[in-house]
Amino acid sequence: MGFTAASQRDFIKFDLGPALKRAGYGPDKLMLLILDDQRVFLPYWADVVLADPDAAKYVSGVAFHWYWNHIRGPQVLTQTHEKHPGKFLLATEACEGASSLSKNRVLLGSWKRAASYAFDIIQDLRHWTTGWIDWNLALDTMGGPNWAHNYVDAPVIVNASAGEFYHQPMYYALAHFSKFLPRGSTRIASNTLRQLDTVAFLRPDNAVVLVILNRRSVVRTYTLVDEQLGSLNYSIPGNSIQTYIWWLPSTEP
């Protein structure tokens, strides 16, 4: 059983939305997200649901997953934002090892999976996404527990029998964003070269954060330019992530 865009619109309009309102959970207290499936359905899904004002008034944002990203690029996120700027975009599910082609559901120490996380986060953030949620932050060594035997990888792997847990490279990839980007940070322009993926933010404390991902195996050099503070020539090793943070001069008198 599932929704079409039209049936989800009607369910929100006639059933869920009014029920939440009667219970005291309007948009001021509860954020209702539509779709919660692959971004291949955007912007069509949002267009159908949000075209009806009696459904749209209950909706705060659009949720999407990463599993079919190879079918359609992140430009559909920008298209959705441009059509519906009052609704936020949130990446609500991602994990490695989910494919039936994966030989290892859990793969300890995989840089490739960390790079996949970082690349997807950068792509989403550069296309109006406000946040990114891992499906499971911690799982056991088999990639569970899971009643449907849908075992996958996670940033933290717990070995209960040994009383240990392991921080995967995916854990540290997430930290390059979650540790440096507090609520209220605003994305600003940054160049993405063919060899490097980047995203930059201005934080509420007037700090600039720049995340750089090198998915290639060779060292890359680059120049970091801030029009207020000057420039810096630096390099990034192959298969690595770097995060820079610096504070802009105060504009207060």
For 66-122, the pLDDT digits (tens) are 999 999 999 999 999 999 999 999 999 999 999 877 888 999 999 999 999 999 999
Mean pLDDT for the chain? 95
Q: Give residue 251's pLDDT.
A: 59
Q: Please report, rounded to a whole number, the percentage of residues in the chain having pLDDT higher than 70.
A: 98
Q: What is the reported pLDDT for 101?
A: 78
Q: Give the list of residues 6+ apart from residue 246 with CB closer than 8 angstroms, or none.
A: 207, 208, 226, 229
Average pLDDT, integer, range 219-238: 93
pLDDT of residue 194: 74
Residue 62 confidence class, pLDDT cut points 50, 70, 90: very high
Q: What is the pTM of this model?
A: 0.94
Q: What is the pLDDT of residue 253?
A: 43
Mean predicted confidence (pLDDT) in 203-223? 96
How much of the chain exceeds pLDDT 90, in percent?
Answer: 89
Residue 1 pLDDT more than 80? no
Q: Which CATH number fits domain 181-253: 2.60.40.1180, 3.40.718.10, 2.60.120.650, 3.20.20.480?
A: 2.60.40.1180
Say if residue 145 is preceded by a cis peptide, omega within 30 of 0: yes
Distance from C-alpha of 151 to C-alpha of 130, rounded to nearest angstrom: 28
Mean pLDDT computed over 160-174: 97
> Is the pLDDT score of 143 beyond 70?
yes
pLDDT at res. 9: 99
Q: Nearest CA to 215 among 236, 199, 201? A: 236
Residue 221: per-residue pLDDT: 93
Secondary structure (3-state) at 176: helix
- CA 85 vs. chain centroid, Å, equals 18
Q: Is the pLDDT of residue 180 over 80?
A: yes
Residue 55: pLDDT over 60: yes
* pLDDT attached to residue 188: 96
Contact assessment for residue 181 and residue 210, using Cβ atoms and an 8 Å cutoff: no
What band does 195 get if pLDDT is binned at 50, 70 and 90? confident
Q: What is the pLDDT of residues 5-18, one digit of tens each?
A: 999 999 999 999 99
Task: Tell how strand 197-202 and strand 207-214 pair up.
Answer: antiparallel
- The more confidently predicted of residues 27 and 252 is 27
pLDDT for 241: 98
